[in-house]
Amino acid sequence: MINGGTTLHGEVEISGAKNAAVAIIPAALMVDGVCVIENMPQISDTEMLLTILKELGAKIRYLNRSTVEIDCTDVWMQDAPYDLMRKIRASYYLIGAMLGRFGHAKTTMPGGCNFGVRPIDQHIKGMNALGADIDIKSGFIYADSRDGKLHGARIYLDKVSVGATMNIILAATLAQGRTIIENAAREPHIVDLANFLNSMGADIRGAGTDTVKVNGVDRLHGGSYALIPDQIEAGTYMVAAAATGGEVLIKNVIPRHLECISAKLRETGTIVQEYGDAVLVKGASALRKINVKTLPYPGFPTDMQPPMCALLCVANGTSVVTEGVYDNRFKYVNELRKMGAEIQVDGRVAVVEGGKRLSGAPVMACDLRAGAAMVIAGMCAAGTTVVEDVRFIERGYENFVGKLNSLGADIRIVDEPEERRGREKIVSIV
């Protein structure tokens, strides 16, 4: 429940990157030894993946709030907890990791946010090229290497896909010979996965460019690794600060990863100042309209599209938002309309008539980033907004309410998500 009309001021610390963590936790399955991962975000997606590894036989313990030790030495191939797998998108990384370690894998079709059809054909194409047969039956994915081992191959992705790039990197790490991924995605979390694997003995080059080369190695050894900060969490606080006309120092970030967001915010009249590992965002007294199109990195991230759309509702003038990654990522617009927003959607294009005073309303968090957009709109609105289904937000934002309230927001959780109620923390801090 958000009491609107607040302006955000102060400092906020960004957590580790969700989309790096959800690939690096499965990657730990392939490591012959103990991995210590620092800067692990406390969100439900990472908790679910750690639970999956634990049920497969991994030993997991937190050394402090954000440092987790994973030992997969005793993991054996067995049925994974499918009810958990189908809840998260990133369960598809278990295919690459299990193929790498065992030569076969069985997972469910991935879950995650619903932005229309989200095929995994490029993942399958990659695994096939590496020598695995993939069979999809009754909602399960069966992957089997044809001769017990994967073999390096040249793979051209027909679509720039973050998930396929990372999954193929995982599978190719312990394969025999060299794999070349062309038309690869270039997101910072792809570089993070490659850095993690390289620090454990892998030989991956070119991550962050559109050609990634993986020379297969025989084994990965244990080690320590710190995750990069979350680009989208940082971007969300940047947009929240700008939309509420506040002034927030966003700490523990890599400003270079935020350039695509900073550039568009500056066009709205927002001041963004970069420091070594922080950005200062000062909202303008009157925000200006902008046109924005989402694209793979280094373009404007699709995950920032809903929060930016919420901001543009309160900017002056008519903005055009074009979704360049997903077919159907404007479903949440109906919820913004309930708050008085004027937005017309035609396919992948939304036209936002800005300058409207939003008013509080009961709305839904349709998915993770749409949920964040509702909270931003609620802070900008007059009166009280109730956002339902905050479990989506908890998938990817650590302590969202606590962090926003520390900046001066007035938000309360009035009904705890059922999933959190009675949920035991999977591992205790030692």
The binding site for ligand UD1 (CB under 6 A) comprises 19, 22, 89-90, 118-123, 159, 161-164, 185, 302-303, 325-326
Q: What angle do CA 362, 287, 232 make, to 5 degrees?
A: 65
Residue of 118, 122, 96 whose CA lies nearest to 107 = 96
DSSP H or E segment with residue 32? strand 31-38
CB of 22 to ligand UD1, least distance (A): 5
Could you write out the DSSP letters of every residue in 78-121? Answer: ----HHHHTT-GGGGHHHHHHHHHHSEEEEEPP----SS----H
Of residues 164 and 312, the one with the C-beta less far from ligand UD1: 164
For residue 74, the minimal CB distance to ligand UD1 (Å) is 27
Calpha distance 154→260 (Å, rounded): 31
CA 87 – CA 110 distance, rounded (Å): 7
Torsion of CA 246, 248, 253, 254, to 10 degrees: 60
Strand partners, 70: 35, 60
Judged by CB, which is closer to ligand UD1: 31, or 325?
A: 325
CB nearer to ligand UD1: pick between 65 and 159: 159
User: Which of 254, 386 has the CB closer to ligand UD1?
Assistant: 254
CA separation, residue 48 to residues 24, 35, 51 (Å): 13, 18, 5
- Residues with Cβ within 8 Å of 74's Cβ and at least 6 positions away in sequence, in order, are 57, 58, 59
In the complex, minimum distance from the CB of residue 369 to ligand UD1, in angstroms, rounded to a whole number: 8
Q: Residue 254 or 280: which CB sits closer to ligand UD1?
A: 254
Q: In Å, how far from its chain's centre is CA 381?
A: 27
Beta carbon of residue 302, minimum distance to ligand UD1 (angstroms, whole number): 5
Query: How far is Cα 96 from Cα 22, in angstroms, rounded to an integer?
Result: 13
Residue number, 196 or 354, with CB nearest to ligand UD1: 196
What's the CA gap between 162 and 103, in Å, rounded? 23
Smaller CB separation from ligand UD1, 82 or 326 = 326
Say which residue the tokens 């394969």 belong to: 175
> Could you give the C-alpha distances from 225 to 37, 57, 172, in angstroms and in order?
5, 22, 20
Beta carbon of residue 306, minimum distance to ligand UD1 (angstroms, whole number): 11
CB of 163: closest distance to ligand UD1 in angstroms?
3
How far is Cα 160 from Cα 241, in angstroms, rounded to an integer? Answer: 31
What are 142's two structure tokens?
């069966």
CA atoms within 13 A on the CB side of 177: 11
For residue 76, the minimal CB distance to ligand UD1 (Å) is: 26
Q: How far is the C-alpha of 28 from the C-alpha of 53, rounded, in Å?
A: 9
* Smallest distance, ligand UD1 to C-beta of residue 24, A: 11
In terms of DSSP bridges, do strands 271-274 and 278-282 run parallel, antiparallel, or are they unpaired?
Answer: antiparallel
**Residue of 35, 72, 113, 380 with catalytic role:** 113
Closer to ligand UD1 at the Cβ: 90 or 174? 90
Cβ-proximal residue to ligand UD1, closest one? 163
Task: Give the β-pairing of 211-215 and 132-137.
Answer: unpaired
What's the length of the chain?
430
Supply the minimum distance, in Å, between the C-beta of residue 94 and ligand UD1. 12
Q: Measured from the CB atom, is 166 or 217 closer to ligand UD1?
A: 166
Residue 113 annotated in active site = yes
Catalytic residue numbers read 113
